[in-house]
């Protein structure tokens, strides 16, 4: 991970942490764990009614939120597997948000912004590191 700047990693980690926190919040709210008013507010945002909110909305938000928090923390702490975990969660987020945008709510496409930025940044930095290593050889 020495090829990634501290500022860049900080920015990616910050965006990941915000997204993880919001996804976890929406998952907990949708499950009613933060009160009935929060549950009603989150579920009122859904354009297309779904038959199983737990399977379609709550579980994916909680899983992506908690996995995103772990991946972001590992990336920020410079763990060897941090980049791979962050990319894996980003890909899973893209897949889920595309599904949600096509079947539940078109505005779910906004959830693609952070994972696309994250993967793009990490891919560019990896490419730069490989070019630099190749030039030294």
- Tell whether 1 is covered by a domain: no
Q: What is the mean pLDDT of each run of 10 residues along the chain (137 residues)?
A: 72 94 92 89 78 82 96 92 95 96 90 95 88 74
Q: How many domains does the chain have?
A: 1
94: buried, middle or exposed (CB in 10 Å: 19+, 13-18, 0-12)? middle
pLDDT given at position 47: 73
- Tell whether 43 is covered by a domain: yes
What domain range includes position 35? 6-136
Instruction: Please give the Cα distance from 99 to 115 (Å, whole number).
Output: 15
- Tell whether 32 is covered by a domain: yes
- Tell whether 57 is covered by a domain: yes
Instruction: Please give the Cα distance from 135 to 130 (Å, whole number).
Output: 9
- Tell whether 98 is covered by a domain: yes
pLDDT in tens, 57-77: 889 999 999 999 999 999 999
Output the pTM of the full model.
Answer: 0.85
């Amino acid at each position: 991970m020495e090829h990634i700047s501290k500022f860049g990693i900080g920015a990616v980690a910050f965006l990941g942490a915000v997204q993880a926190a919001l996804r976890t919040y929406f998952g907990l709210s949708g499950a009613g764990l933060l009160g009935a008013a929060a549950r009603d507010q989150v579920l009122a945002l859904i354009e297309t009614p779904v038959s199983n909110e737990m399977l379609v909305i709550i579980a994916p938000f909680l899983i992506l939120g908690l996995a995103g928090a772990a991946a972001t923390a590992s990336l920020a702490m410079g763990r060897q597997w941090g980049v791979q975990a962050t990319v894996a969660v980003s890909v899973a987020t893209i897949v889920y948000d595309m599904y949600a945008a096509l079947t539940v709510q078109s505005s779910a496409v906004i959830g693609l912004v952070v994972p696309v930025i994250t993967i793009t940044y990490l891919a560019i930095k990896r490419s730069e590191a490989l070019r630099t290593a190749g030039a030294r050889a």
